[in-house]
Structure 1
Amino acid sequence: MTYSVWLSFFSYTIISAISPGPNNILALNAAGKSGIKMQRRLLSGIYLGFFCIMIICGVFSTVLAVILPEITDYMKYAGAVYITWLAYHVATGRPLKENNTETEKSSFNRGFLLQFVNVKIIIWGLTAFTGFVLPYYDSPIIIVGFIFLLSFIGNGSTHIWAVAGVGLGSLLKKYWRSANIIMGLSLLYSAVNLVL
């Protein structure tokens, strides 16, 4: 990968991962109400489930690229369309309202199973692999490395929301318009670089 592709990869993965989504809002709510220590089982479930989804995305994308090698060219454009759509919604989105029932009965299973219905991270993982990884690498060791890297980025972002708790929520609510526009423009940059 060239420098600009790496920059696009990190822009896409970090900005998308740190933007509000089911994992981040759940972590923010749960840790904000009862602390990280009290929610460690829920957070552990999220982290392990996320890692499992990245394994599935990596294997699925690699197998698809082997069976239909030309698919990565088309998936790159599909990924760019998805990132552009995401950029628009992030830039024009409004602050999410917290759901007071999110932290009730927080458990490992709840965090783990959430990942298998979390469309945001599934599409995020597939886009990262088909748009940024597979066009440049086909070594199983490198693919495994990207599974760990993507898991670190995704789970790290969720942990940032958990650590920040209510503090991050109030900061984003206060400056939501500026934060959304900056994140949206960064995502748009990633989409353009993906197809160039």
Structure 2
Amino acid sequence: MPLSVFIEMTLSAILTVWSPGPNNILLLSTASKYGISGNLRFMTGIWSGSLTLMCLSGLFCSTLGKVVPGIQPVMKYLGAAYVLYLAWQTWRRLPPSDAVQEKKPTWLMGYFLQLVNVKIIIYGLTMFSAYILPYETKAPILFGFAVYLMFLGALGNLIWAFAGNMLKRFYSGHYKLMNGVMALLLVWCSLRIAGLL
């Protein structure tokens, strides 16, 4: 792959995975409540799911081009519905000081989020079909690119999680406002996924 294409792919990937989306907004929200260490399992679930999708995108991109048109509408609406569910859970979240604590997000929740996260699915398919597969076809190299794309997403996740962690004190006093804003952002993501915005 030429360096110019690699740089263009990296910039496109950063703009995609560092922008607001279900992963980043949910990490902002949960890190404001549980901190970074309380979200490690959830984040590793997100990263594992993301790596799985990047590998599938790389290995099956040409085949998926034929299959996705039939699956894409179903996945799009399943993903949008799941993000709406996340918005509802975010809206209902209690402040950290309340005695009744909700269950922390789990590895499985992070992994499952990726399997219905249309943004990440489209991201993987786009990066491989537009930037990688025209230049590289060997499985080890494709796996390396899958890891690289997941790593860029993980950096974006960490940025959003650290922002949530820094807002923890503010969140304790203004949790209804922050939950409302984050829930509305997730609704916005859901509407974008469904193609309604």
TM-score interval, smaller chain: 0.5 to 0.7
| Partner SS, residue 61 of structure 1 | helix
Q: Deviations over 1:10-41 (max 9, x none)?
A: 11101111000000011111111220111222
Deviation of 1:166 after TM superposition, in Å, equals 5.6
Q: Deviations over 1:50-89 (max 9, x none)?
A: 1111111111115569x9xxxxxxxxxxxxxxxxxxxxxx
Q: 1:17 to 1:102 in 2, by over 3 A?
A: farther
CA distance in 2, matches of 1:147, 1:23: 18
CA distance in 1, matches of 2:116, 2:43: 16
Q: 1:135 to 1:165 in 2, by over 3 A?
A: same
What amino acid is aligned across from residue 122 of structure 1 in structure 2? I
* Partner of residue 24, structure 1: 24
| Partner SS, residue 136 of structure 2 | coil
Q: 1:60 to 1:147 in 2, by over 3 A?
A: same
Deviation of 1:102 after TM superposition, in Å, equals 6.5
CA distance in 1, matches of 2:161, 2:49: 16
| Partner SS, residue 19 of structure 1 | coil
* Partner of residue 75, structure 2: none
Q: Deviations over 1:92-143 (max 9, x none)?
A: xxxx9x9334694311211111110000000000000000000111122211
* Partner of residue 13, structure 1: 13
Q: Percent identity?
A: 40
* Partner of residue 111, structure 1: 110
Answer whether contact 1:24 1:157 (CA < 8 A) is retained: yes
- Structure 1: runs of 5+ lacking an equivalent: 68-95, 171-196
Q: Does 1:40 align with 2:40?
A: yes
Scaled by the length of structure 1, the TM-score of the pair is: 0.63
* Partner of residue 145, structure 1: 144
What amino acid is aligned across from residue 124 of structure 1 in structure 2? Y
Count of residue pairs brought into register by the alignment: 140
* Partner of residue 58, structure 2: 58
Q: 1:62 to 1:141 in 2, by over 3 A?
A: farther
Q: Does 1:99 align with 2:98?
A: no
Q: Is 151-160 or 23-32 further displaced after alignment?
A: 151-160
Structure 1 runs (4+) deviating above 3 angstroms are: 62-65, 98-104
CA distance in 2, matches of 1:154, 1:57: 15
CA distance in 2, matches of 1:116, 1:64: 15
Answer whether contact 2:35 2:165 (CA < 8 A) is retained: no
* Partner of residue 154, structure 1: 153
| Partner SS, residue 61 of structure 2 | helix
Q: 1:46 to 1:102 in 2, by over 3 A?
A: farther
CA distance in 1, matches of 2:12, 2:148: 13
* Partner of residue 126, structure 2: 127
